[in-house]
Structure 1
Amino acid sequence: MPLVSVIVPNYNHAPYLRQRLDSIFNQTFQDFEVIILDDCSTDNSKEIIEEYRNRPQVSHVVYNEKNSGSPFKQWAKGFDLAQGEYIWIAESDDWAELNFLEVLTSILNKDSSLVFAFCESYWEYPQITVSGKALKKSSIYNGIDYIKNKQIYYNSIVNASSVVFRKEVLSNTANDYQFFNGSGDYLFWSLLCEQGYIYYTTNILNHFRRPPANTTSRCMATGITFIENFSIYKYFKQKGYISKFANYRIIEHSLSEIEQYSEVLGKNHCYSKCKTIWENERVETNSTSFFLSFWANQINRCDSLPLYAKLWQFLHLPNTNIRGHLPFYKRNQQK
């Protein structure tokens, strides 16, 4: 049995497939199987996949006759085929440093309490590469605490390609994520967090490709993200993960994002629906005070800024591009 099952779910990523697959097969750690799943691609993905079929690590190549409609259904298909103790979902448009598996499997091997380990990523935009900064230091985190402090606001495990997890936890993981179109990963990683401890390393071992048009941007534009995130928010709330103040922050942030996408949401006839579900939630929670809502909104506006910029923003001084054009991430290098 291989130690790691590498699942490569692909749909129309022919331009990136060789780089992705080469970064898997050339890993310094070699005890793995590769499961390639193609979701009825219309480009020349099949031609490229066939170049790798006879590699000894390839255990399955599966071509769908009909598009599944959800990347997360492909994940589940891969999980059923996986024989390894650990699973790596290697998204077909990303790529990895060649010591990715060596580092993350070593972390998991040393501590059986860990549900998964994930690394930092380079965010690969068409004209620029930026280095991520999910957390400040490499450390073990209690999964429930991680949800309460990070996941309730957004999916902080932003790229599946950066994670290696234990297959055994799938037996205790609800399959609801499969029926999401955009936020299934958000729910999936949160469900895994509930099952134990997680490890984050600041080592940048993953390259997360961010093309102009992808599943995330499409789901934002069609309102799917706002609706599915609302379901996840209600789950977190029911589980008691969200404090009263955090609740205001989440609602205000979601409504602010909906306004940012208002034009495209309107064109897709879903602006009203997205805004209504979150506004109704705000009305239900608005009995505490206007004060909490005001400060939640202020903190959201300044959350990603350095200290000097937070002060600048709170004092309402003139904006001097304190946020820059790539919030949350620092510029790393020009391409």
Structure 2
Amino acid sequence: MSINAKVPEPLVSVIIPTYNRPEYLKQAITSAVQQTYQNIEIIVSDNCSPENLQTLVESFADPRIKFWRHPENVGMLNNQMNAFKMAQGKYVASLHDDDMWNQDFLAKILPPLEANPNLILAFCDQYIIDAQSQINHAATEENSRSYQRDQIASGIHRNFQKIGLVDKSIPTAAACVIRNGLINWDSISSEVGGMWDLYLTYLCCISGYSVYYYPEKLTYYREHEQTDTMLSGRRNIQAKIRKAKSEIFCYKIFMEDMRLHEFHSHFRKLWLEAHTTLGIGLMLDQQSTAARSYFWQALQEQKFNLRTLTALTLSFTPQILTKKLLGVA
């Protein structure tokens, strides 16, 4: 080997799980294909969309793209994990089918990981865009403040439990590159559900490795009517129920992990709030008896909570009146 021979760039697996959003998917794939860092494989995992997306994917005529279509809908989490398990790269990065990356996202995020084998991941800040792909500058700044990314020092963070699990600063689903081979994807069980990204952060927190923060905004997170965040509010009762069940499962694990002991009270508070949220969802789904068990448990675990007490009281009122009081169609 020549002394001047260039060391080959490591392969990065770009994971794009998708379901029934062809126009957004096209933009997401485009942002991956156009990365200035070229040694990538792009794994598009289709969760059995009504419209077969193979033609769209093939239109890119890029041999780096691998397309997988499930013969039946396996759920959001299984589709995501299936794509992670297919990854052959030294690094993996999740790109949702409605989000996008700057052209230099990978080129800027990878060097710290390559320079330091003790890093499990590197992450950056992100822009918030709307359904038309326009940057919402006010929402972008609010997002950075809400997740404390405007306060994080650039560089390596050895103990990042607060950053990752309390402030939730690490966008593992949208603006993060992870060293492959350190996470057992099978350890992310079905109960984790839509909280998979926070649970993945948890696994990274307890890994013994460090993380790197690159403070520039290098990705675009899309807020629109069909995101899980939007659906888990009042407009979709089943999404609300699923989200609350996932929160109860995850926060219980965090509470019981002695490595996170200093944040126990924080996770316990969120765990109790999720009980009330689940109870409200079940109540709106005409499962008042089941709902009350979650309200009672939440009340027994804390001295007083007006939201929980009000919800418990409403569970004894007629369904149509309950929905009117809660403003649910």
Pick the TM interval, shorter chain: 0.7 to 0.9
Q: Sort the Cα spacing of 1:203 and 1:210 in 2 relative to 1 into closer, same or farther, 3 A.
A: same
- Alignment partners' CA distance in 1, 2:170 and 2:291: 24
**Cα–Cα, structure 1 residues 190 and 279, in superposed 2: closer, same or farther, change >3 Å?**
farther
- Does residue 146 of the first structure (1) align with residue 160 of the second (2)? yes
Q: Please tell me the residue identity of whatever aligns with 2:117.
A: S
Distance across 2 between alignment mates of 1:226 and 1:160: 19
Q: Is the 8 A contact 1:40 1:65 kept in 2?
A: yes
Aligned residues: 281
**Of residues 197, 208, 218 in structure 1, which corresponds to 2:221?**
208
Is residue 2:11 matched to residue 1:3? yes
For 1:268 and 1:227, how far apart are their aligned partners in 2? 14
Pairing of 1:124-139 with structure 2 (within 5 A): 124-126=129-131, 128-129=136-137, 130-131=139-140, 132-133=143-144, 134=147, 135=149, 136=151, 137-139=153-155
Structure 2 counterpart of 1:86, which letter? Y
Give, in whole Å, the separation in 1 of the partners of 2:287 and 2:225. Answer: 22
1:32 is aligned to 2:27 = no
- In the alignment, what sits opposite 2:324? none
Is this contact kept in 1: 2:95–2:173, CA < 8 A?
A: yes
What is the CA-CA distance between 1:152 and the residue it aligns to? 4.2
Q: Distance in 2 between matches of 1:273 and 1:183?
A: 23
Q: Which amino acid aligns with 1:165?
A: I
Quote how far apart the aligned CAs of 1:265 are.
5.5
- Per the alignment, residue 86 of structure 2 pairs with 81
Aligned-partner Cα distance in 2 for 1:63–1:208:
24
- Alpha-carbon offset, residue 254 of structure 1: 5.6
Residue 204 of structure 1 aligns to a residue in which SS? strand
Question: For the structure 1 residues 264 and 217, does the alpha-carbon distance in structure 2 shift closer, same or farther, using more than 3 Å as the test?
Answer: farther
Higher relative contact order (CA 8 A, sep 6+): 1
Matching residue within 181, 192, 200 for 1:188: 200
Native 8 Å contact 1:255 1:279 kept in 2: no
Query: Which runs of 5 or more structure 2 residues have no equivalent in the other structure?
Result: 1-7, 306-329
* Aligned partner (choices 23, 29, 35) of residue 21 of structure 1: 29
Counterpart residue number, 1:42: 50
Q: Is the 8 A contact 2:279 2:292 kept in 1?
A: no
Q: Structure 1: how far apart are the matches of 2:223 and 2:255?
A: 31
The aligned residue for residue 187 of structure 2 is 175
Give how far 1:170 is off. Answer: 2.4
CA apart distance, 1:153: 3.9
Change (3 A) 1:63 1:260: closer
Partner of 2:251: 233
Counterpart of 2:109? 104
- TM-score of the superposition, structure 2-length normalised? 0.74
The residue type paired with residue 97 of structure 2 is: S
Deviation of residue 90 (structure 1)? 1.4
Structure 1 unpaired stretches of 5+: 294-335
Aligned pair in 2 of structure 1 residues 32, 271: CA closer, same or farther (>3 Å)? Answer: farther
Which stretch shifts more, 101-110 or 228-237?
228-237
Cα displacement (A) at 1:218: 3.3
Note closer, same or farther for the CA distance 1:229–1:201 as it changes in structure 2 (3 Å cut): same
Q: How many Å apart are 1:278 and its aligned residue?
A: 7.2
**8 Å contact 1:254–1:278 — kept in the other structure?**
no
Q: Are 2:283 and 1:266 equivalent residues in the alignment? A: yes
Q: Deviations over 1:190-213 (max 9, x none)?
A: 112211111122110010111123
- Amino acid across the alignment from 2:248: F
| Equivalent residues of 2:255, 2:268 under 8 A apart | no
Alignment of 1:240-319 (within 5 A): 240-243=258-261, 246-253=263-270, 266-269=283-286, 276-277=293-294, 280=297, 283-284=300-301
TM-score (ref. length: structure 1): 0.72
The CA distance in 1 between the partners of 2:289 and 2:213, in whole Å, is 38
* Equivalent position of 1:313 in the other structure: none
Residue 62 of structure 1, aligned match among 68, 78, 98: 68
Partner of 1:319: none
Distance across 1 between alignment mates of 2:216 and 2:88 = 27
Counterparts of 2:171 and 2:293, CA distance in 1 = 27
Give the residue type in structure 2 aligned to 1:36. Answer: V
